[in-house]
Amino acid sequence: MLNVRALQLTAITGSNRYRTLLKFECGLNVICAENTSGKSTALQAIVYALGLEKMWGPRVDVPLAHAMQQRIQPHRDGPFESVVQSFVELEIENHDGNRLTVRRDVAGGAERRLIRTWQTNALTGGERGPERDFFVQLGGAAQREDGFHTQLARFMGLDLPAVTRFNGADGPLYLETIFPLLFVEQKRGWSAIQGPFPTQFQIQDVARRAMEFILDLDIGRTRRELADIGHKLKALRETWSTLTTGMRSMLPPSCRLDLPAQPTAEFAHDGHIAIEAMEAAAWMPLDDVLTALRRRYAAIANEPIITTSDAAAGNESELTKSQSELEAQTVAANDVRHALRSRVEERAVLTSRINDLTIDLRRHQDAKQLRKLGSTLSKIIEDGHCPTCHQSMAAELLPVNPSAVMAIDENEDFLKSQIRLYEANLAGLERAVDAEESTLAALDEQCAKLRTRIRTLRQALTRPGQTPSQARIAEIVELDRRIGELGATQQRIDELADKLRSHAKEFAELRAREKQLSEKLFSATDREKVQTLTSLLRERLREFGFASFAIDEVSLADDNFRPVMDQKDGDDIVQREIGINISASDGARLKWAYYLALLELSTACKTNHPGLVIFDEPGQQQMKELDLGTFVRRAAAATQGDQQIIIATSQSKSFVDSALSTGAHAKVITFDGFLLQPDRQN
Amino acid sequence: MPDELGDTASVSFRVRPVSVPGELRISWRLAVVVLMLEGCRKQRASLVKLHVLNDAVRSPDSAQQLRRVLRDELAPSFWRTRVEPAFGRALDLAVGSGLVSWIHTTLGAGLELTTKGKEAVAAIRKLDGVLVHEKTVLAELSLKLSEQRAASLTSPKAVVRA
């Protein structure tokens, strides 16, 4: 919670000290004064003192009138005096009744990024006590211990959530993105019903994030949990890929693994790793190959070794068989080699295409950045016309161009989609190349073995008849080696399989939680809050005389809860933007209603609304006095408990008094002439 | 047209915008032109030299090719300068925008960076992460490639000598 208790503006000139102290109460506070007397300066000073001026854009430096910065006069006809030093002091209170006094210098004093604080009611009679300094407008102001916004959020009892930026990184939801829902600035503040929100913080869907936070919706927490799960899933995918690559590298050429590219739920339950070995030019399950090899080994190793002449007939037929097998396998290997070569060529073409597209994309991104230079580079960039002949240069540097040219942003997106497409293509190709490479390696190994066997058989046939069969001995040795090699492979893979299974299990559990969360993003409490907000909004609109269309058609958008219009389209109800289709005065009415409804909602349910709303000049667009009166009355009634509304208006005090005549209470602050007077108090 | 569509049926076509290569974007090209001249001696260069540099900045491969030719690792005949019409248009626009102005050099017409052009270079230098490749390539090659060398690379004799 946040309450403004007192605001003091001080501007010191060579001969005078101009000062004003405004005290505020809980409930409604109305500052009544004529135009250009300093009402807006007072309200903007609250924002400046809290270091929140960047909520109005990155370029806003000091959002205060020249009376606080350059020169000041005591009254409209008075002489101007140069401001030598000026500063703003603000006393705020939180839900626990703790006070905090802050001071920020404007001109001639300390660095503007410094905020001095005292944990006392220094402006309303208390002692200053020990001082603690904080910084604003520097990196870390909302995250570091010495950052003022870290301190302010803590003081207000807010736990700022982490949100995703455009670059995918996480950062805090800055206070500057929340305050546009509490403070309606006089000029741009009335231009949008919600916000306008600052965009320089690069926060994705900033309006939605700010609203979710203010309404304290479960959906915000759910989304953060989802993001957290997303990070964990990514890490698991990476570990999985490292492990499987490691497993593949320890395989002999005659073996291959069939593993999913990503951890799957199926693998978590039935984590069987299929290892295949090449046997007779075909991939067979390793278990079958091992069993066959062991059976053959048992059959021949335990028998006495036969002589060359006894083995001759068998050797001859084996020789013929091996020769034809070698021929077949050489042909098969050549086929694979051929296919592989064309795929490798295709891969080279794709890689070079992706490289070209990446260069092109970079040039577009550069071109986009360079456009920021505007006329520093060339007037063409600013207005799109040739500086000499003034003809349109929309076709960029293309020669005679019959059709329209993509705009840079569109072209950038187009290139990105092209790159994505080609990369997907390349990934598929890589997989095919990997598979073919392992098949080819296995086939080559088989061919080499067959050649060795043929050589052995030939030599065996020419040896003396009574010597032990060389072919048989060679077969026994080879069988022994292969059984050893395949057995060891099997064992090593089995050892790693457990690790993979546990990863897959964790992956499956996270995926299940992810699915469960994404199905129920909105909780029942969330729905109730949004419904209550909608009905509060409609009630207020009715009260304020909104007439642009039927009030029951006003609802809240599904994405960021801004007011929209429900319209029938056939049998469906579609949400349409409220924009130029309403009158300007109804735009202001909608803004009053929306901001008051947000405040009132915090009385009905638990929200993160700090209980403070500030309206600068709500009487926009020659608003009917009757409706403005209703607004003031409603604002007085809307504030419950410690809540506070501050309004600055150029309406007279008598107007405010008559609006409040029904018994609603408000503190009315008035002053004649300028707000800043040589040492005066209100 | 099939009969069942009737007389009232009509087919409409929409012209879709076409993708443009990044080097044909005016803002990119003007920035590269001023960067080229910034690297040259006295911030001026002949058209011949500018065309060679333009060709070198086309891709990392072509930059490497020119680098090797300048180091005499590669015969000059390996270098083929392409005259790109869009580059000529970009130079005209650069002159029109006041970034560069026409001058006379020993190799015929040439260009010189104007004060506005120098300001533009300073602004471009301040933009981080923009034209990273182009900035490094041009800083190196603009100075290494002398006017005479540029002339020899573009004249038919260069091929004959190699």
Q: For A291-305, write each residue's pLDDT tens digit.
A: 999 999 988 888 888
**Chain B interface includes A527 (CB < 8 A):** no
Q: Which residue has the higher pLDDT, A365 or A192?
A: A365
CA gap A564, A325 in Å, rounded: 76
Q: If you measure CA to CA, which chain A residue comes closest to B131? A: A366
Mean pLDDT along residues A199-220: 85
Question: Which residue from A617, A378, A483, A613 is spatially nearest to B29, judged by alpha carbons?
Answer: A378
**Helix/strand/coil (H/E/C) assignment for every residue in A439-465:** HHHHHHHHHHHHHHHHHHHHHHHCCCC
CA gap A111, A148 in Å, rounded: 14
A236 has pLDDT over 60: yes
Q: What is the pLDDT at residue B110?
A: 92
Give me the residues of A, 502-521, that contact B with CB < 8 A.
none
In the block, residue with structure tokens 């075909």: A282
Burial of A223 (0-12, 13-18, 19+ CB in 10 A): buried
CA gap A673, A680 in Å, rounded: 12
Record: contact B17-A408, CB cut-off 8 A: no
Q: What is the pLDDT at residue A361?
A: 92
Instruction: Collect all residues of chain B within an 8 Å Cβ-Cβ radius of residue A403.
Output: 15-18
B145 has pLDDT over 80: yes
Question: Which residue from B53, B94, B28 is spatially nearest to A388, judged by alpha carbons?
Answer: B94
* Residues A164 and A203 sit within 8 Å (Cβ to Cβ): yes
Beta bridge partners of A257: A275
Record: contact A377-B16, CB cut-off 8 A: no
Q: Which residue has the higher pLDDT, B11 or A51?
A: A51
**Cβ-Cβ contacts under 8 Å for A453 (sequence gap 6 or more):** A322, A474, A475, A478
Residue type at A209 in one-letter notation? R
Q: What is the pLDDT at residue A164?
A: 81
- The C-alpha of B12 sits at a distance from chain A's nearest C-alpha, in angstroms, of 16
Record: contact A414-B94, CB cut-off 8 A: no
Record: contact B24-A366, CB cut-off 8 A: no
Residue type at B102 in one-letter notation? W
A350 has pLDDT over 90: yes
Mean pLDDT along residues A550-558: 83
**Chain B interface includes A354 (CB < 8 A):** no
Burial A565-600 (b: 16+ CB within 10 A, else e): beeeeeeeeeeeebeeebeebbbbbbbbbbbbbbbb
Cα separations (Å) of A36 from A325, A621, A675? 100, 17, 9
- The C-alpha of B160 sits at a distance from chain A's nearest C-alpha, in angstroms, of 32
Helix (H, G, I), strand (E, B) or coil at A102: strand
Mean pLDDT along residues A101-111: 88
In chain A, the percentage of residues whose pLDDT exceeds 70 is 97
Record: contact B22-A372, CB cut-off 8 A: no
Chains A and B form CB pairs within 8 A to the count of 122
- The C-alpha of A350 sits at a distance from chain B's nearest C-alpha, in angstroms, of 17
Beta bridge partners of A6: A23, A91
Taking CB atoms within 8 Å and a gap of at least 24, the contacts of B3-11 are none
CA gap A487, A543 in Å, rounded: 84
Q: What is the pLDDT at residue B32?
A: 93
DSSP string for residues in B62-126: HHHHHHHHHTTSS-GGG------HHHHHHHHHHHHTTSEEEEEETTEEEEEE-HHHHHHHHHHHH
pLDDT band at B148 (very low <50, low <70, confident <90, very high): confident
CA gap A124, A129 in Å, rounded: 14
A470 has pLDDT over 90: no
**Chain B interface includes A398 (CB < 8 A):** yes
Burial of B84 (0-12, 13-18, 19+ CB in 10 A): middle
Copy the structure tokens of residue B36.
Answer: 């080229």
Burial A9-24 (b: 16+ CB within 10 A, else e): bbbbbeeeebbbbbbb
Q: What is the pLDDT at residue B158?
A: 46
Say which of B18, B92, B93 has its CB closest to residue A406: B18
Per-residue DSSP letter, B57: T
Mean confidence (pLDDT) of chain A: 85
Indicate the length of chain A as a whole number. 682
Q: If you measure CA to CA, which chain A residue comes closest to B125? A: A370
Q: What is the pLDDT at residue B3?
A: 54
Pairing of strands A282-285, A274-279: antiparallel
- The C-alpha of B31 sits at a distance from chain A's nearest C-alpha, in angstroms, of 7
B84 has pLDDT over 50: yes
Copy the structure tokens of residue A79.
Answer: 């002489």
Beta bridge partners of A82: A71
Q: What is the pLDDT at residue A680?
A: 46
CA gap B63, B53 in Å, rounded: 9
Instruction: Collect all residues of chain A within an 8 Å Cβ-Cβ radius of residue B19.
Output: 406, 411, 414-415
Instruction: Collect all residues of chain A within an 8 Å Cβ-Cβ radius of residue B86.
Output: 397-399
Record: contact B15-A360, CB cut-off 8 A: no
CA gap A437, A250 in Å, rounded: 15
Beta bridge partners of A348: none
Record: contact A378-B18, CB cut-off 8 A: no
**Chain B interface includes A396 (CB < 8 A):** yes
Mean confidence (pLDDT) of chain B: 85
Cα separations (Å) of A214 from A181, A387, A487, A609, B96? 8, 50, 63, 5, 53
**CA angle at residue A375 from A370 to A378, to 5 degrees?**
75
DSSP string for residues in A129-186: -SEEEEE-SSTTTTTSTTBHHHHHHHHTT--PPEEEBTTS-EEE--GGGTGGGTEE-S
pLDDT band at A394 (very low <50, low <70, confident <90, very high): confident
Q: What is the pLDDT at residue B160?
A: 40
Lowest-pLDDT choice from A46-50, A558-562, B91-95: A558-562
CA gap A176, A56 in Å, rounded: 8
Q: What is the pLDDT at residue B118?
A: 92
Name the range with the highest mean pLDDT among A361-370, A380-389, A621-630.
Answer: A361-370
* Residues A162 and A172 sit within 8 Å (Cβ to Cβ): yes
Q: What is the pLDDT at residue A126?
A: 79
Copy the structure tokens of residue A505.
Answer: 């299990």
Cα separations (Å) of A338 from A222, A332, A437? 53, 10, 11
CA gap A650, A630 in Å, rounded: 16
Beta bridge partners of B46: B110
Mean pLDDT along residues A559-578: 77
Interface of B with A (CB under 8 A): 15-31, 34, 59-60, 85-86, 89-90, 92-94, 96-99, 119-120, 123-124, 127, 129-131, 133-134
**Cβ-Cβ contacts under 8 Å for A96 (sequence gap 6 or more):** none
A7 has pLDDT over 80: yes
Q: What is the pLDDT at residue A343?
A: 92
Helix (H, G, I), strand (E, B) or coil at A261: coil
pTM (two decimals) = 0.57
CA gap B118, B34 in Å, rounded: 8
Taking CB atoms within 8 Å and a gap of at least 24, the contacts of A101-110 are A101/A128, A102/A49, A102/A50, A102/A148, A103/A49, A104/A48, A104/A49, A104/A51, A104/A136, A106/A48, A106/A62, A106/A64, A106/A68, A106/A69, A107/A11, A107/A68, A107/A69, A107/A70, A107/A83, A108/A12, A108/A83, A108/A84, A109/A85
Mean pLDDT along residues A139-146: 83
Copy the structure tokens of residue A575.
Answer: 């949400």
Say which of A393, A403, A415 has its CB closest to residue B17: A403
**Which helix (H) or strand (E) segment is A316 a member of?**
helix A308-371
Q: If you measure CA to CA, which chain A residue comes closest to B117? A: A377
* Residues A25 and A142 sit within 8 Å (Cβ to Cβ): no
Say which of B15, B28, B90 has its CB closest to residue A370: B28
State pLDDT tens for residues A637-672.
777 778 888 988 888 888 778 777 766 778 888 887
pLDDT band at B4 (very low <50, low <70, confident <90, very high): low
**Chain B interface includes A414 (CB < 8 A):** yes
Question: Which residue from A53, A49, A90, A93 is spatially nearest to A174, judged by alpha carbons?
Answer: A53
CA gap A106, A87 in Å, rounded: 5
Copy the structure tokens of residue A434.
Answer: 């990997």
Residue type at A176 in one-letter notation? E
Copy the structure tokens of residue A245.
Answer: 């690559």
pLDDT band at A137 (very low <50, low <70, confident <90, very high): confident
pLDDT band at A623 (very low <50, low <70, confident <90, very high): low
Helix (H, G, I), strand (E, B) or coil at B46: strand
Q: What is the pLDDT at residue B162?
A: 35
Q: Which residue has the higher pLDDT, A277 or A627?
A: A277
Q: What is the pLDDT at residue A462?
A: 83
| Interhelix angle B132-144/B47-56, nearest 10 degrees | 140
In the block, residue with structure tokens 């994405």: A559
A14 has pLDDT over 70: yes
Mean pLDDT along residues A399-421: 83
pLDDT band at A579 (very low <50, low <70, confident <90, very high): low
